[in-house]
Amino acid sequence: MATVRLSFSPAPVHVRTARLVGVAVARRAGVADELLDEVRLAIGEACTRAVALHNQYGLRDPVEVEMRDDDPYTVRVIDRAPIEASIGLAALPPDELANESLTDEALTTGVGFALLAGFVEDLQVRPVEEGAGTEVRMIWPTRR
Amino acid sequence: MELSLATRAVAGHTVLEVGGEVDVYTAPRLRQLLLEVHESGARHVVVDLGRVDFLDSTGLGVLVGALKRLRAAGGTFRLVCSREPLLKIFRITALDQVFPLYDSVESAIAADPDAASAQ
């Protein structure tokens, strides 16, 4: 068992790096090949959400990603935004998606959460244990 | 893979070919090109996602924005997408009920035969 930790400045350009590392560790952990696209997308969405929150609140703290090369494969993405920011995470119904009054930010947030919920069987969004922030924890089975 | 963007005109439509990764970092380039296409007066747009190997919520948000702009202007906005991983993304987000999805550029254009004479 090994833990890989990644800490990056909250900039969009680094989200791709987090996806690539997340998939590499998933492969090493023994996650089935057919799940790797979903792992890549879900880690990307969780990191995108964290980067957006840090930018929204003007936070320069790094976004943290922890990947446990274990059974099951566990990924934690941690932001440092005020906890109330994570309230309201909800998928949007189809008739609201193209609604003129829906802002781009609200649409992206709703769609992002739908993807997380749709691609991660075991998903938890909860406050971090110390200080401000939220942890998105995602778990995938391995073939071990 | 880096984002690639190219446009071409086909039978009264502007076809935008997208390749590579559309994510929170690259999606602003796609948004900018779609705005330029709109501002050029194009009202029948087909976005071909055939060579896209990654699409996230930011990219989907950009596509919805383009759809809304064209609808408001009386135009059409169609997507070409036939790869199962991408189709699954549209199903999970319910955006398959928002976008007209086609399996080829030809079928997307054929669905709108009047557009060829409209531009």
pLDDT digits (tens, 9 = 90+) for A79-112: 999 876 654 556 677 777 777 778 878 888 889 9
Domain ranges in chain B are 21-103
Q: Output DSSP code: residue A102.
A: S
ipTM: 0.90
A123 reaches B (C-beta below 8 A): no
The CA distances from residue A47 to A6, A50, A98, B103, B111, in Å, are 11, 5, 25, 31, 38
Residues B36 and B5: beta-carbon distance below 8 Å: no
B 89-108: CB under 8 A from A: 89, 92-95, 97-98
Instruction: Give yes or no for residue A5 having a pLDDT over 80.
Output: yes
Q: What is the mean pLDDT of residues A49-62?
A: 94
Inter-chain Cβ pairs, chain A and chain B, closer than 8 A: 77
Q: Which of A12, A108, A118 sits opposite B61 (nearest CB)?
A: A108
Kindly determine whether residue B23 and residue A37, on different chains, have CB atoms separated by under 8 Å: no
Residues B65 and B98: beta-carbon distance below 8 Å: no
Assign domain B21-103 to a CATH class: alpha beta
Rg (CA), chain B: 13
Provide the H-helix boundaries in B25-56: 27-39
Model confidence at A121, pLDDT cuts 50, 70, 90, reads confident
pLDDT of residue B11: 92
Instruction: Give yes or no for residue A76 having a pLDDT over 50.
Output: yes
| Sequence-distant (≥ 6) Cβ neighbours of residue A44 within 8 angstroms | A15, A16, A18, A19, B23, B24, B54, B56
Chain A residues touching residue B85 (CB < 8 angstroms)? 37
Q: What is the pLDDT along chain B (119 residues), one digit of tens a residue?
A: 789 999 999 999 999 999 999 999 999 999 999 999 999 999 999 999 999 999 999 999 999 999 999 999 999 999 999 999 999 999 999 999 999 999 999 999 999 766 555 44
Could you tell me the residue range of the domain that residue A19 belongs to?
A: 2-140
B 53-92: CB under 8 A from A: 54, 56-58, 60-61, 64-65, 67-68, 71-72, 85, 89, 92
Strands across the sheet containing B76-80: B4-10, B13-22, B44-55, B76-80, B101-102
Instruction: Give yes or no for residue A67 having a pLDDT over 90.
Output: yes
Rg (CA), chain A: 15
| Closest alpha carbon to A137 in A85, A66, A83 | A66
- Name the most confidently modeled range: A37-41, A86-90, A117-121, B112-116: A37-41
Going along A70-121, which residue ranges are E strands?
A: 73-79
Kindly determine whether residue B56 and residue A119, on different chains, have CB atoms separated by under 8 Å: no
Q: What is the mean pLDDT of residues A125-129?
A: 91
Distance of CA A53 to the CA centre of its chain: 12
Q: How many domains is chain A built from?
A: 1
CATH of residue A8: 3.30.565.10
Mean pLDDT of chain A: 90
